[in-house]
Amino acid sequence: MTDIIIQGIYGRMGRTLVEKISTREDCHVVAGVDRESGHVGDIPVYNEFAQLSCKGVIIDFSSPAGAVAAATYGAEHGLPCVICSTGLSKEDEAALEAASAKIPVFRSANMSLGVNVLIELARQATRVLGGEFDIEIVEKHHRNKLDAPSGTALMIADAINAEAGGKYEYVYDRSQVRQKRGAQELGISAVRGGGIVGEHEVLFCGPEEVVTLHHSAGSRGVFADGAIQAALYVANQQPGYYTMTDLLRGKLPCV
């Protein structure tokens, strides 16, 4: 039985995690951390990590500052971390890397297993088509999402660019430029509206054909399921920095 501590337990993803974990027999929630102390059912919630009196794998769905706080506390007290917050700066990511020298840190901007399969497929498509096909990424999210483009769109773009040897330049807006599309452009577009949970589409556009990879999240449950699998995985790992590629290794021949 793996003990879980949820940072951001009052939020939508935190509540979804509590619901999902309550149906499982391989893990359970022992505490939460959020803006104010209280309870979610019989789960104690603290307003800072310093108040914790238990141990477990920290799953963070909070904010960039919260992600760094979780990793810092985890490194000081030997608690593995699954960091799911988005919008992290380079300095924030560096703090996670530093923490991973002492504890296992699992990091992904998107915890959906399906999205991460899409990323691996995008890598393969880039290997085959990237030299002759233009590549565009379109992401869609609910009206309350703060960051754009999404962390997942950037994950996809970075995976494609790494496969292509770093030759692409990311282009986010063409409205102010009157010129043909450059051969080394990788376009990234963001849509915000309504209650869209998350959609990502990668288009490989050739002269006479288009190959499209598409993923749509039907509910936040897919992200919670991925976070739980990551927590169970990282609970048994040595200190280090882990990603979905590590979790998927052995499941996908392309990883």
Give the separation between CA 8 and CA 118, rounded to whole angstroms.
27
Q: Does 215 qualify as catalytic in the annotation?
A: no
Give the separation between CA 97 and CA 252, rounded to whole angstroms.
26
- DSSP string over the chain: -EEEEEETTTSHHHHHHHHHHTT-SSEEEEEEE-SS-EEETTEEEESSGGG-----EEEE-S-HHHHHHHHHHHHHHT--EEE------HHHHHHHHHHTTTSEEEE-S---HHHHHHHHHHHHHHHHHTTTSEEEEEEEE-TT--SSS-HHHHHHHHHHHHHTTS--EEE---TT--SPPPTTEEEEEEEE-TT---EEEEEEE-SS-EEEEEEE-SSTHHHHHHHHHHHHHHTTSPSEEE-HHHHHBTTBTT-
Q: What are the tokens at 75?
A: 């490194």
Q: Does 20 qualify as catalytic in the annotation?
A: no
Count of CB atoms situated within 10 Å of the CB of 100 = 21
CA 177 to centroid of chain Cα atoms: 32
Q: Which of 20, 140, 141, 200 is catalytic?
A: 141
Q: Which of 28, 55, 102, 145 is catalytic?
A: 145
Q: Which residues does the annotation mark as catalytic?
A: 141, 145
